[in-house]
Amino acid sequence: MAKRFDVKIEDDRLLVYNLHTEPLYIKEITISYEVEVITPTGEKGIKKVKQTIPIEKKVVKVLDVPIVSREISEVKVIYIAGNEKAEEIHHPRV
């Protein structure tokens, strides 16, 4: 199946582009962040944090979503295609 979306990080926003001419109904977006943390022993580590954002609207061209960090490792877009729920996973570019 061809990709229906393209995802890009721009400043403090995540831009989700609809690659098709017909509007697509997006149910929700799940953003996975990888943040650097200091462990109790003083070592550096990576913690994965997920944020799910309900959207529940049709997107014609682009959806602009505010983000808390640019350290995004993955974006899952859950949408309706025909009468069925579908999803796409993206690894956004800056």
C-alpha to C-alpha distance for 41 and 24, rounded to whole angstroms: 48
Q: How far is CA 77 from the centre of its chain?
A: 6
What is Dmax (Cα atoms) for the chain? 53
In this predicted structure, the answer to whether residue 1 has a pLDDT above a threshold of 80 is no
DSSP letter at 81 equals E
In this predicted structure, the answer to whether residue 90 has a pLDDT above a threshold of 70 is yes
Q: How far is CA 64 from the centre of its chain?
A: 10
Q: What is the pLDDT of residues 42-68, one digit of tens each?
A: 999 999 999 999 999 999 999 999 998
Give the global pTM: 0.85
The domains found in the chain, sorted by start residue, are 5-90 (2.60.40)
C-alpha to C-alpha distance for 3 and 34, rounded to whole angstroms: 24
